Each structure stands twice: as C-alpha cells, then as structure tokens.
Amino acid sequence: MDKIKVVVAAVLVIAGIAGFYYLQDSATVIRLAAFLAGLVAGAAVLWTTASGQNFVAFAQESVAETRKVVWPTRNETLQATAIVFVFVVIMALFMWVVDGILLWIVKKLIGGE
C-alpha cells in the first residue's frame, strides 16, 4: 500500500509541475499556486507512508541534535576566518615563488633567455 501512495505522491507533484507549464498564459500567481498545490498534495500523501513518517522522525531528531551543538562565538568565527585568509595568502605567495623558480629553471634547461 505504501508503494501505491508513493506513486500517487509522485504523480501529484508531476501534475503540479505540468500545471505550472500548462498554465503558461495565466498569471504567475496562478501558475505558482498550481505548482505549490501539487507539491503540498504530494507531500501530504507521502507523509502518510511509513517512509514519510521515518523522514519526519529523522527531521525532528536532526533539529534536536542541531540545538545541542555548541556554536562558535562571533569572535571565534572572525579569528578562524582571519587565520584561513592569512594562510591562503601565504600559500598563494609561496606557489607564485615556486612557479617563478620552476619557470626560470625550465627556461635555463631549454636554452631560453
């Protein structure tokens, strides 16, 4: 039964997309409403399936875990960003110097100027 519901949900979403393109001469609001109606109807049918319920439970657990995360302060974020930026600049300069040296060596080996 769940497989049939999943197929119905997919058909509803496809119908919403088809309605969006079928109503191309209509106002954008009507086209958007057709698309959203298909999307919401498909999501509602999918929510009644076992996999839909598993997804809802997973989403709720994910939100709970996100709330447990200790996020860095603004100062810590700025410091980490500055360190990354300085490292990138230093590495860019290093690569530029190495490239210049290798270019000089290759020119000397092939008899360039």
Q: How far is residue 16 CA from its own chain's centroid?
A: 23
Angle value at C-alpha 86, between 85 and 90, nearest 5 degrees:
120
Q: In this model, does residue 13 exceed pLDDT 70? A: yes
- Residue written as token pair 């076992």: 50
Q: What is the pLDDT of residues 94-108, one digit of tens each?
A: 999 999 999 999 999
Rounded percentage of the chain residues whose pLDDT exceeds 70: 98
Report the C-alpha gap between 88 and 81 in whole angstroms.
Answer: 11
Q: What is the pLDDT of residues 59-88, one digit of tens each?
A: 999 999 999 999 899 999 999 999 999 999
What's residue 37's pLDDT?
A: 93
Domain ranges (residues) in the chain: 1-69, 72-113
Q: What is the pLDDT of residues 41-60, one digit of tens each?
A: 998 998 888 888 898 899 99
Q: Residue 37, class by beta-carbon neighbours within 10 Å (0-12 exposed, 13-18 middle, 19+ buried)? A: middle
